[in-house]
Amino acid sequence: MREIGHFIGGNHVAGTSGRTADVFNPATGEVQAKVSLASVSELRSAVENAKAAQPQWAATNPQRRARVFFKFVELLNKHMDELAELLSREHGKTVEDSKGDIVRGLEVCEFVCGIPHLQKGEFTEGAGPAIDMYSMRQPVGVGAGITPFNFPAMIPMWMFAPAIACGNAFILKPSERDPSVPLRLAELMIEAGLPAGILNVVNGDKAAVDAILTDPDIGAVTFVGSTPIARYVYGTAAMNGKRAQCFGGAKNHMIIMPDADMDQAVNALMGAGYGSAGERCMAISVAVPVGEETANLLVEKLAPKIESLRIGPYTDDKADMGPVVTKEAHARINGLIDRGVEEGAKLVVDGRGFKLQGYEDGYFVGGTLFDHVTPEMDIYKTEIFGPVLSVVRAKNYEDALALPMKHEYGNGVAIYTRDGDAARDFASRVNIGMIGINVPIPVPLAYHSFGGWKASSFGDLNQHGTDSIKFWTKTKTITARWPSGIKDGAEFVMPTMK
């Protein structure tokens, strides 16, 4: 049985807590590895390594820090197939989907190659009599990231790339469900030239999370996961004097206007709703057709496509989607489908009971479609995080707009229309953080920022883009005046007021 430990101080180290978790193959249900769950002392060892290494890394000029990421991007491309296979084996998603996971992280690494420019401060000559004023962006020190199972390559890179590029050291606590890729990324960072101790990977559960949140030497924490845990992490981090950015759940809507290209909208819903078995925080889980005619046509076109989804293990290169990640996730999704039937939604396509020959013990859920869902139903309010799409029929544009605006989550939303006025009005008014116009999963590129509103996000700075540079640095502002410009005598007014 393969045993997975930690990566501390530039080396793989075995766990010493005596506690482990099983790592499953989601396609077969078999245990493929045991991952160590860190104790407080193991987490502290990583922090001490990071704290010792960070000052010299911060003193390294930014162009040399950038060179590490240039090399790391080169290594990511070189090892793409290996990383994707490793990711799919533990997560269950298709290999092509895993490559997309890696590439979206790689793009943030490309973005931070511009750190010499991104980390520049500001300068004002003559802010007052013989006074110059300037600012510097300096690293926080030691930061930490807590990542979910659904993007074991992308989200760790979204976190550690800007943090490290800014001169910080970093502690990564990945999901214990698929821990191998984060460890491999740490190896590649060392190969790219990163000093030992700057990136540490500590596997663990709540004990490791709480140790991160209370450790006095960790200055900033970033998190992605469910909203209840995001609230807990944000609140606990703040109480312990840390800056935090925490990203929670989602219930992403797609509005389909009567003038939309229906074939385009249906294809978008198929990819956005069922790709990666719906285990994406930006998945579309609610379709909102405007008008009965639009709704009837949408369901008519969707149903046969969902029924023909090719579902299989990651080794099937023709599969559209794979299994969900765990037995518990499988049971939860099926339970929510049961609940939708109990609540009176019309089950158009039923994914329960899906079995794949030769993989009968795998965690497969078939594509599922509900129609006539209402906002009072649990399947509408809850983030299902599985291959389940709900159709909520709206009488008109205003009713459609009101649905995402009233929902507690505010991560992403999309509208499909040919009407520029409607699209512009929608983008201006809807209270959601990321908006797609004829784009189903509006994840911004690396040089813009990613983040939702309402219960989907806690903290005032988002992931990647320039927000990430602000989050991982502290601004220091200097006001300087040299002796030749100083007159005798005390001054009792602000110098800039003269």
The CATH code of the domain that includes 163 is: 3.40.605.10
Q: How far apart are CA 273 and CA 252, in angstroms?
A: 10
Token pair of 95, please? 């290999």
Side-chain-side CA neighbours of 447 within 13 Å: the count stands at 7
What is the domain extent for residue 366? 252-437
Residues 293 and 372 in one domain: yes
Q: Are residues 312 and 377 in the same domain?
A: yes
Per-residue confidence (pLDDT) for residue 128, from 0 to 100: 85
Domain boundary among 383, 408, 437: 437
Q: Is residue 432 part of a domain?
A: yes
- 497: in domain: no
Query: Considering the domain boundaries, does residue 483 fall inside one?
Result: no
Q: Cβ neighbours of residue 301 under 8 Å, at least 6 residues apart? A: 262, 263, 266
Same domain, 330 and 395: yes
Say if residue 468 is in the same domain as residue 393: no
Which are the contacts of 95, defined by CB distance < 8 A and separation ≥ 6? 84, 85, 88, 314, 317
In angstroms, the Cα distances linking 337 to 251, 325, 369, 391 are: 16, 17, 10, 14
- Domain identity same for 404 and 468: no
- The reported pLDDT for the residue numbered 395 is 98
Number of domains in the chain: 2
Is the domain of 256 the same as that of 224? Answer: no
Sign of the four-CA dihedral 59, 102, 269, 361 = negative
Q: Verify that 229 and 258 share a domain, yes or no.
A: no
**The pLDDT of residue 489:** 73
Do residue 229 and residue 283 come from a single domain?
A: no
Residue in the structure block whose two tokens are 């490559």: 99
Q: Is 308 inside any structural domain?
A: yes
The residues annotated with a catalytic role in the active site are 281
Question: In this structure, what CATH number is given to the domain that contains residue 356?
Answer: 3.40.309.10
Note whether 259 and 201 are same-domain residues: no
Q: Could you tell me if residue 485 is inside a domain?
A: no
What pLDDT, on the 0 to 100 scale, is given for residue 487? 66
CA angle 52, 56, 58 (to 5 degrees): 110
Residues 31 and 117 placed together within one structural domain of the fold: yes
* Same domain? 209 vs 320: no
Residue 486: inside a domain: no
Residue 491 included in any domain: no
- Shared domain check, 265 and 217: no
Q: Is 150 within a domain? A: yes
User: Exposed, middle or buried, 440 (CB in 10 Å: 0-12/13-18/19+)?
Assistant: buried
pLDDT tens for the 498 residues of the chain, in order: 899 999 999 999 999 999 999 999 999 999 999 999 999 999 999 999 999 999 999 999 999 999 999 999 999 999 999 999 999 999 999 999 999 999 999 999 999 999 999 999 999 999 988 899 999 999 999 999 999 999 999 999 999 999 999 999 999 999 999 999 999 999 999 999 999 999 999 999 999 999 999 999 999 999 999 999 999 999 999 999 999 999 999 999 999 999 999 999 999 999 999 999 999 999 999 999 999 999 999 999 999 999 999 999 999 999 999 999 999 999 999 999 999 999 999 999 999 999 999 999 999 999 999 999 999 999 999 999 999 999 999 999 999 999 999 999 999 999 999 999 999 999 999 999 999 999 999 999 999 999 999 999 999 999 999 999 999 999 999 999 987 756 667 777 765 555
